[in-house]
Structure 1
Amino acid sequence: MRTRPWFHFGLTLAVLAALVALVALVAGTQPARVQAQAPKTLKIQASWPAALTIYDNFTMWAKRVEQLTGGQLKIETLPAGAIVPAFEVLDATHKKVIDGAHTWAAYWTGKHKAAVLFTGGPGGTFGMDYIDYLGWMYEGGGLDLYQEFYREVLKLNVVPIPILPSGPQAFGWFKRPIKNLADFKGMKCRQTGMAAEVYTEMGMRIVNMPGGEIIPAAERGVIDCAEWIGGVEDLRLGFHNVWKYHYTPGMHENVTVGELLINGDVWQGLPPVTQEIIKAAAMETFIRWWARWQKQNADALAELQDKHKVQISRTPDDILIEFLRAWDRIAKREGEKNPFFKKVHDSQRQYASKVVPAKRFMFPPYEFAANYYWPPKK
Structure 2
Amino acid sequence: MAPAQAQKVLKMQATWPASRTLFENFTMFARRVEELTDGQVKIEIMPAGRAISAFEVLEATHRKVIDGAHTWAGYWQGKNSAAILFTGGPGGPWGMDHQDFLGWMWWGGGQQLVEEFYREHLKLNVVSIPVLISSPQALGWFKKRIETLADFKGMKCRQTGVAGRIFNEMGMRTVNIPGDEIMPAAERGTIDCAEWIGGVEDLRFGFQTIWKFHYAPSLHESVSIGDVLINGDVWKDLGRQHQEIIRAAATEVLIKWWVGWQKQNADAVRELQEKHKVHVLQTPNEIHTEFLKAWDRVAAREAERNPFFKKVMDHQKAWASSVVPAKRLYFPAYRIAADHYWPEK
| Structure 2 CA distance for aligned equivalents of residues 188 and 273 of structure 1 | 50
Matched, 1:214 2:214: no
Aligned residue in 2 for 1:25:
none
Match of 1:300 in 2: 268
> Using the alignment, how far apart are the partners of 1:152 and 1:234 within structure 2?
37
| Aligned partner of residue 126 in structure 1, secondary structure | coil
Shift of 1:36: 2.8
Q: Measure how far apart 1:207 and its partner are.
A: 1.1
Equivalent of 1:363 in 321, 331, 336: 331
The within-5 A match list for 1:6-17 is: none
User: Is residue 2:286 matched to residue 1:335?
Assistant: no
Which range moved further: 205-214 or 59-68? 205-214
TM-score, normalised to structure 2's length? 0.99
Provide the C-alpha distance between the structure 2 equivalents of 1:207 and 1:296, rounded to a whole number of angstroms: 28
Q: Which amino acid aligns with 2:139?
A: F
In the alignment, which residue of structure 2 is the partner of 1:154? Answer: 122
Describe the superposition over 1:305-325 as per-residue Cα deviations: whole angstroms up to 9, x where unpaired.
000000000000010111111
RMSD (Å) for aligned C-alpha atoms? 0.8
Runs of 4+ in 1 over 2 A off after TM superposition: none
Aligned AA (1:345): M
Structure 1 letter corresponding to 2:115: Q
2:238 corresponds to which residue?
A: 270
- 2:131 aligned residue: 163
CA distance in 1, matches of 2:57, 2:184: 27
Cα separation, 1, equivalents of 2:318 and 2:4: 48
State, as a whole percentage, how many aligned pairs show the same letter.
66
Measured against aligned partners, the alpha-carbon deviations of 1:334-359 in whole angstroms (never above 9, x if no partner) come to 10121100000001000000001100
**Pairs within 5 Å for 1:1-378:** 32=2, 36-377=4-345
Matched to 1:133, the amino acid is F
Q: Secondary structure at the match of 2:61?
A: helix
Q: What displacement does 1:332 show?
A: 0.6
Secondary structure at 1:97's aligned position in 2? coil
**Cα shift readout 1:268-300 (whole Å, capped 9, x = no counterpart):** 111101000000000000000001100000000
Gaps (5+ residues) in structure 1?
Answer: 1-30
Q: Indicate the SS of the match to 2:238.
A: coil
CA distance in 1, matches of 2:47, 2:69: 10
Structure 1: how far apart are the matches of 2:248 and 2:121? 26
> In 1, Cα distance between the equivalents of 2:292 and 2:230?
33
1:215-245 CA-to-partner distances (Å, cap 9, x unmatched) read 1211221111110110001001011101100
Residue type of the alignment partner of 1:325: K
Distance 2:319 2:180 in 1: 38
CA distance in 1, matches of 2:241, 2:145: 54
The alpha carbon displacement at 1:212 in A equals 1.5
Q: Alignment length, in residue pairs?
A: 345
In the alignment, structure 2 segments of 5+ residues that lack a partner are: none
User: Structure 1, residues 179-204: CA drift from partner, whole Å, max 9, x if none?
Assistant: 01011001111101110010111110
Q: What is the deviation of 1:304?
A: 0.2
- Letter in structure 1 aligned against 2:69: A
TM-score when normalising by structure 1: 0.90
Map of 1:9 onto structure 2: none
- Residue aligning to 1:4: none
CA distance in 2 between counterparts of 1:251 and 1:122 reads: 6
Give the distance between the partners of 1:126 and 1:135, measured in 2 at CA: 14
In the alignment, the residues of structure 1 paired with residue 196 and residue 244 of structure 2 have an alpha-carbon distance, to the nearest angstrom, of 34
SS in 1 for 2:93: helix
